[in-house]
A = this chain, B = another copy of it.
Amino acid sequence: MIPIDLMDARPIYEQVTERFKLLILRGIIKADEKIPSVRNLAVELSINPNTIQRAYAELEKQGYIYTVKGKGNFAVGAEKLLPAYREEILQRLRELCKQAEEIGMTREEMISHMAEWRSL
């Protein structure tokens, strides 16, 4: 469920964070569902608890989970998180369009490619 790639340039804690964000956003982890304890996940992934801890701290700071002391960490509902995430994707799309324009690539060209892929 949480694949870790040690060869990946991104730090492990970030890979864990990203994975959980996706699982929560897609609703695979439901609202208020408990996620694995720091210790358990650390054992399961053969990773140091401190690293998992850091990933969870990041998730909490970004609003994806909440911590109940002495009980564990719980997912925030996707419905609360999706609007901001959609906006983030549009923001990245905008950025990409800007970069495309810098080398004279038109938006029509990009759109036509996207329309093409859709049919795949």
Contacts and interface: CB of A to CB of B under 8 A. Distances in A.
A107 B96 contact: no
Interface string A1-25: 0000011010110000000001001
Contacts of A115: 107, 111
Chain A at the B interface: mostly helix, strand, loop or mixed?
A: helix
Contacts of A45: none
Contact of A117 (B9, B71, B97, B99): B97
A99 B89 contact: yes
A44 interface: no
Interface in A76-103: 82, 85-86, 89-90, 92-94, 96-97, 99-100, 102-103
Given A89-B100, A89-B110, 7 more contacts: A11-B69, A22-B102, A92-B96, A93-B114, A107-B114, A107-B115, A111-B114
A-B pairs, 8 with minimum CB distance: A7-B66, A107-B118, A6-B68, A11-B69, A25-B103, A89-B100, A111-B111, A107-B114
7 contacts: A11-B69, A26-B103, A89-B99, A89-B100, A94-B117, A111-B111, A111-B114
